[in-house]
Amino acid sequence: MARKILVTGMAGQIGQILCRELSATYDFVGIDRKPTPSGLPEDFHVAEIADFDAIRPRFDGVDTVIHLGADPSPRASWDSVLDNNIIGTRNVFEAAREAGVRRVVFASSNHVVGYYPMKDDPYRAVYEGRLADIRHPIEPLTATHLRPDSYYGVSKAFGESLGSYFHDAFGLSVICMRIGWVMTPDDPSFSAAALSLWLSHADAARFIEKCIEAPKHVGFAIVHGMSDNELRIWEKDDTRRIVGFDPEDGAGETWIERPGAPKPI
Amino acid sequence: MARKILVTGMAGQIGQILCRELSATYDFVGIDRKPTPSGLPEDFHVAEIADFDAIRPRFDGVDTVIHLGADPSPRASWDSVLDNNIIGTRNVFEAAREAGVRRVVFASSNHVVGYYPMKDDPYRAVYEGRLADIRHPIEPLTATHLRPDSYYGVSKAFGESLGSYFHDAFGLSVICMRIGWVMTPDDPSFSAAALSLWLSHADAARFIEKCIEAPKHVGFAIVHGMSDNELRIWEKDDTRRIVGFDPEDGAGETWIERPGAPKPI
């Protein structure tokens, strides 16, 4: 029998990718604050995750929660982050605990370490496309780095801490995905930062499937979801070891190396 | 002229120690939700830190904020932690930013890594007083460790992240103190965990003074406030290097080594 997977934020970009790529594999239930666009599962519910009572019934019988629901903007106000990302995320973990869900896969973000590439070389040189200034090999950013660049980034770090607590206190399996940049259209060639951060649609679906299927002994982990980009600055070995994710796509850096070359987008 | 120091949670245990030990050095202003006990500064105000407008006027002209105000219980409910520790801490940082405060010294806690000594040896063996099971040297817990043991611990990790963001985004100097255990009476001999965690009253005052006076180049840091206890499991070298704190007190382990010896308390 297919796993029953509850996706919060299902009407968003990544939710729709999951629905398109993995509907044959899983039995999806969706929650979102937005009314359903086309292409979502029949079992879809409009609800605010900040409202515990409104979302709680959807967790019964669920195997895995994919928690994508959030104000996704790094420019989000404190009030919006507080309701949607902090209170909402606590509600999702608490509802999962109450309902006896097996695992929560939480959408964290590169923004929990966003000030490294905004401030410090060599990461900053990567984001700015100053390839000549980069000394290789770059020491990758890992699960123990933390330097949020916004209230949004702080809220994602909060969700990781909360997941660690729910794992240790209640035995809930929690995998936090530090996601790079999933974009539509699925082409990162418009900037060096995008070439570094890119997670292709196909890799996003593969990555999340790996997080759902990771072995039972994975109790708590923070892993990285970026494609195999030449300008990648986040670890990939830990992620491969823990959940078995090997990206199949990857962005080169060729366009940057040709000064004056027209940017594809 | 003495620095003007705003202390949130001034009516609490550590606030009262500061008032007693450092009133000759600094010009204190206090905020607390509780009415003033004896021995507090004249400039003391009853206000909830969850109420931004109620506390904002107290930040004008302040050099350093010592942010101790919080629900201090590891058993605090989510609702209390949300109001007092999450919303309250954001209000304190935001008010400090608005008012142009030089530095915020934030009371974080050993509870941000509390599950290490509750679950994993050798830390657990220390807390349980199983000295024979400890392999030396113990690899100390550092600023990059994170494993909160409660909503309280999660809220303190949140405050650290928020401080990192406020430093990077707004140039506010932020020092986060992972405090061990300040207790009254000032005697940790009642348990192995207390002997490990002890921060004596005198060391607490010295430690916080060092955090206030640390050089300007200390923009953001997470440091550890425990006395020089033989059973200490947290780093002290980074803390000495960053803020210059060298504990002068320290708890031995002698009573544990004598099975059957009466426990002093």
By Cβ distance, the residue of A90, A154, A168 closest to B78 is A90
By Cβ distance, the residue of A118, A148, A161 closest to B146 is A161
- Residues A33-89 pLDDT 10s: 988 777 677 899 999 999 999 999 999 999 999 999 999 999 999 999 999 999 999
Distance from CA of A100 to the nearest CA of B (A): 19
Whole-number Å distance between alpha carbons of B251 and B48: 36
pLDDT higher than 90, residue A163: yes
pLDDT higher than 50, residue A237: yes
Average pLDDT of the residues in B136-162: 96
pLDDT higher than 70, residue B237: yes
| Confidence band, pLDDT 50/70/90 cuts, at residue B259 | low
Rg of chain A over Cα atoms, rounded to whole angstroms, equals 18
% of chain B at pLDDT higher than 90: 86
For chain A, which residues make up each domain, given as ranges? 4-116+141-252
pLDDT higher than 80, residue A141: yes
Average pLDDT of the residues in A168-186: 97
Q: Is A152 in CB contact (< 8 Å) with chain B?
A: no
| Confidence band, pLDDT 50/70/90 cuts, at residue B238 | very high
pLDDT higher than 50, residue B203: yes
- Contact between A33 and A10 under an 8 Å Cβ cutoff? The reply is no
Give the list of residues 6+ apart from residue B119 with CB closer than 8 angstroms, or none: A168
- Contact between B83 and B123 under an 8 Å Cβ cutoff? The reply is no
Report the residue of A168, A170, A220 to disrupt the B interface, i.e. the one with the largest count of B CBs within 10 Å. Answer: A168
| Confidence band, pLDDT 50/70/90 cuts, at residue A254 | low
Q: Is A83 in CB contact (< 8 Å) with chain B?
A: no
Q: Which of residues 116-145 of B touch A (CB under 8 A)?
A: 118-119, 144-145
- Contact between B220 and B168 under an 8 Å Cβ cutoff? The reply is yes
pLDDT higher than 70, residue A30: yes
| CATH topology assigned to domain A4-116+141-252 | Rossmann fold (3.40.50)
8 Å CB contact of B161 and A158 = yes
Distance from CA of B96 to the nearest CA of A (A): 16
8 Å CB contact of B146 and A146 = yes
B85, B9, A150, A13: CA torsion to nearest 10 = 10
Assess whether A26 carries a catalytic annotation.
no
pLDDT higher than 70, residue A240: yes
| Confidence band, pLDDT 50/70/90 cuts, at residue B262 | very low
8 Å CB contact of B158 and A153 = no
Of A178, A98, A185, nearest to A146 by C-alpha is A178
| Confidence band, pLDDT 50/70/90 cuts, at residue B27 | very high
pLDDT higher than 60, residue B235: yes
- What are φ and ψ of residue A86, in 5° steps? -95, -65
- What are φ and ψ of residue A23, in 5° steps? -65, -25
This prediction's pTM? 0.95
| Confidence band, pLDDT 50/70/90 cuts, at residue B133 | confident
* The pLDDT value given to residue B255: 56
CATH 3.40.50.720 correct for B4-257:
yes
* The pLDDT value given to residue A134: 86
In B, which residues are within 8 Å of A147 by CB distance? 164, 168
Report the residue of A150, A164, A167 to disrupt the B interface, i.e. the one with the largest count of B CBs within 10 Å. Answer: A164
Q: Is B25 in CB contact (< 8 Å) with chain A?
A: no
Indicate if the alpha-carbon torsion angle A39, A45, A48, A49 is positive or negative. negative
8 Å CB contact of B161 and A168 = no
* The pLDDT value given to residue B265: 37
Of residues B115, B116, B152, B165, which has the active-site annotation?
Answer: B152
Whole-number Å distance between alpha carbons of A81 and B161: 14
Whole-number Å distance between alpha carbons of A249 and B1: 62
Average pLDDT of the residues in B230-258: 88
By Cβ distance, the residue of B82, B144, B148 closest to A164 is B148
ipTM of predicted assembly, 2 dp: 0.95
* The pLDDT value given to residue A255: 56
B225, B231, B237, B242: CA torsion to nearest 10 = 0
pLDDT higher than 60, residue A265: no
pLDDT higher than 70, residue B77: yes
* The pLDDT value given to residue B261: 46
pLDDT higher than 80, residue A257: no
Whole-number Å distance between alpha carbons of A50 and A33: 10
Whole-number Å distance between alpha carbons of B57 and B29: 12
Residue B260 falls in which region: left (phi positive, over 0), alpha (psi -120 to 50) or beta: left
Q: Is B97 in CB contact (< 8 Å) with chain A?
A: no
Strand partners, A45: A31
Average pLDDT of the residues in B170-191: 96
Q: Is B109 in CB contact (< 8 Å) with chain A?
A: no
Characterize A223-251 residue by residue with b for buried, 16 or more Cβ atoms within 10 angstroms of its Cβ, and e for exposed. Answer: bbbbbebebbbbbbebbeebbebebebbb
% of chain A at pLDDT higher than 70: 95
Residue B26 falls in which region: left (phi positive, over 0), alpha (psi -120 to 50) or beta: beta
Q: Furthest-apart CA pair in chain B: how many Å?
A: 58
Higher pLDDT, B131 or A142: A142
Whether a cis peptide bond, with omega within 30° of 0, leads into A262 is no
Distance from CA of A18 to the nearest CA of B (A): 30
- Residues A222-236 pLDDT 10s: 999 999 999 999 999
pLDDT higher than 70, residue B256: no
First and final C-alpha spacing in chain A: 44
8 Å CB contact of A164 and B144 = no
Give the list of residues 6+ apart from residue A257 with CB closer than 8 angstroms, or none: A131
pLDDT higher than 50, residue A213: yes
Mean pLDDT of chain A: 93
Task: Average the pLDDT over each of A88-102, A169-183, A244-258, B214-228 and give the range with the smallest value.
Answer: A244-258
Whole-number Å distance between alpha carbons of B153 and B150: 5
* 3-state SS string for chain B: CCCEEEEECCCCHHHHHHHHHHCCCCEEEEEECCCCCCCCCCCEEECCCCCHHHHHHHHCCCCEEEECCCCCCCCCCHHHHHHHHHHHHHHHHHHHHHHCCCEEEEEEEHHHHCHHHHHCCCHHHHHCCCHHHCCCCCCCECCCCCCCCCHHHHHHHHHHHHHHHHHHHHCCEEEEEEECECCCCCCCCCCHHHHHHECCHHHHHHHHHHHHHCCCCCCEEEEEECCCCCCCCECCHHHHHHHCCCCCCCCCCHHHHCCCCCCCC
